[in-house]
Amino acid sequence: MDFVAKAVVIGLTEQAPLILAAMGMALIYFLSKVINVAYAETITLGAYFTMWFNTTFGLSFYASMIAAGILAGLLSVATYLLVFRPAHLRKVGMVEVIIISLGLSVFLRHGLQFVFGYSARFFDVPSPTYLSVLGVGVTSFQITAVVLVIALALGLYWFVQKTNYGQQVRALASDESLAKVSGINPLVVTLMIWFIAGMAGGLAGAFWGVGASAKPGLGWDRFLLILLVVLVGGAWGIRGVILAGLGTGVLLSGLKLEIPPLRAEILLLVAFIVILKLRGDRSHETAKV
């Protein structure tokens, strides 16, 4: 019981931003059918933008986080308009789009290093208060971060599932031609989703960054895990991504309590790959029938 409690508490406090990041990436993947490798840099830039507002202008972490989220959203829209939309209009294949997004990721990462340098940058935040939750030591800031992340994730889920704009997003993702006939403007809806996705990634980066530091590889180090959460949980929509994110955070924390962190991450990645393989085989068998 103590082991389960520790895994749950540590998983929620350390990996809660994974839910937000995965939801943002899932929105782009569902709508545009794009595996956007450069999304890793959106997460990283969210951490750096927040740190910059916090240390340069003396804003609180939460005020800095909001400003950084908006900037990350605008950056996401800019990458779509300048890179991904032209590729879509030219009907570029999926593999080519992945290669393009990889090149964009490298460009953004080196641009970030040129501006902010190669060393880790730290936030200027007050010393946290330490609390005990189910026998596990956590900070008051971590608890606040978990509450905010869950609230933002649920708000994003409500937006996609319950609002008129969310219906337009789902319609566009299902059939673009039919959505146009229904009076939906694909460009407006797409820009809105890329902004929301970028904002979600930026906020996730802010939470990860303040928990440790803002560094050039922050988003890239977590990208593969985020992608696998989207691919595994995405079979059940946004709700599946949320549940997969929660489960991944708890499971990864539990494994790290028993084995070295690197081995825990490798084991989890292998488990994800096996799940995708089995699901692919079953889908293929069903299709043949």
Number of domains in the chain: 1
Which position has the token pair 């994974």?
A: 18
In a domain, 172, yes or no: yes
In a domain, 75, yes or no: yes
In a domain, 280, yes or no: no
In a domain, 128, yes or no: yes
CB neighbour burial string for 54-71, b if at least 16 within 10 angstroms, e if fewer: bbeeebebeebbbbbbeb
Over residues 208-234, mean pLDDT: 91
In a domain, 189, yes or no: yes
Please tell me which residue, 20 or 178, carries the higher pLDDT value: 20
pLDDT band at 1 (very low <50, low <70, confident <90, very high): low
Q: Could you tell me the CA-to-CA distances from 255 to 80, 252, 261 in Å, in that order? A: 37, 5, 8
Contact criterion met (CB below 8 Å) for 257 and 243: no
Instruction: Give percent of the chain with pLDDT exceeding 70.
Output: 96
pLDDT band at 180 (very low <50, low <70, confident <90, very high): confident
Q: What is the reported pLDDT for 283?
A: 40
pLDDT band at 133 (very low <50, low <70, confident <90, very high): confident
Range(s) of the domain holding residue 173 = 2-220
Query: What are the two backbone dihedrals, phi and then psi, of residue 133, each rounded to the nearest 5 degrees?
Result: -120, 115
pTM surpassing 0.85? yes
49-108 tens-digit pLDDT: 999 999 999 999 999 999 999 999 999 999 999 999 999 889 888 889 999 999 999 999
In a domain, 257, yes or no: no
In a domain, 231, yes or no: no
pLDDT over 80 at 179, yes or no: yes
